[in-house]
Amino acid sequence: MSLNSQDLDTIENYNEEQRLSFLIQQAIEHNSLWILADEHGCVMLNTDDEDCVPVWPNEALAQRWATEEWQQCQAEAITLNKWFSRWTMGLLDDELALVAFPNQQNQGLVIYPDEFEEMLKKAQRKKGRK
C-alpha cells in the first residue's frame, strides 16, 4: 500500500485503538513491523511506569518520527517470524514493553510483548480462515 502525505496524516490522527488495529492489520498483511534504530540500537520511549520500544505499521510512518533527537535514526523492518522468535522474549527478558504506533504527540497504547504477540497470532489465524 502506497500512502501519500494526506493518507499518512489521516492514519496518524486515528485514536490509539484504531492505530493499534491498523498496526496489527498491516503487520499481518506485510509480514513485518517497523522500528527506528541507529548505531546504538532501537529508539526507546519512557512512560511513568514502563520503558518501551515503539513499533510502526510501515516504513513511512516510522520514518516520519525520525525528527529532532531521533533524526539520525532509520526505519528498520522486522519480520513477524523474527519478532516471534527473538523480539517478544527479548523484550520480556529486558522488562520492556512496546508502544503501538505512537503518533507525533507521543501517544500510543503501551502493550506487553506477550500480549502483542498473541494479538498478532490471533489476527494471523483469523486471516488464515478467510
Domains: count for the chain: 1
Q: Is 4 inside a domain boundary? A: no
Whether 76 is in a domain gets the answer: yes
The string of pLDDT tens digits covering residues 33-54 is 999 998 888 999 888 888 999 9
The reply to whether 2 falls in a domain is no
- What whole-number percentage of the chain has pLDDT above 70? 97
Q: How far apart are CA 107 and CA 111, in angstroms?
A: 13
Query: Is residue 111 a part of any domain in this protein?
Result: yes
Strand partners, 35: 76
State the residue range of the domain holding 105.
9-124
Residue 10 pLDDT exceeds 80: yes
Residue 32 in any domain: the answer is yes
- What CATH number did the domain enclosing 79 receive? 3.40.1350.90
Using one digit for the tens of pLDDT, what is the confidence trace for 50-80? Answer: 899 999 999 999 998 887 777 889 999 999 9
Residue count (the chain): 130
Q: How confident is the model at residue 106 (pLDDT cuts 50, 70, 90)?
A: confident
Strands (E), the chain: 32-38, 41-42, 45-46, 51-55, 74-79, 97-100, 109-111
- Positive or negative torsion for Cα 120, 123, 125, 130: negative
| Summary mean pLDDT of the chain | 91
Assess if residue 129 is contained within a domain. Answer: no
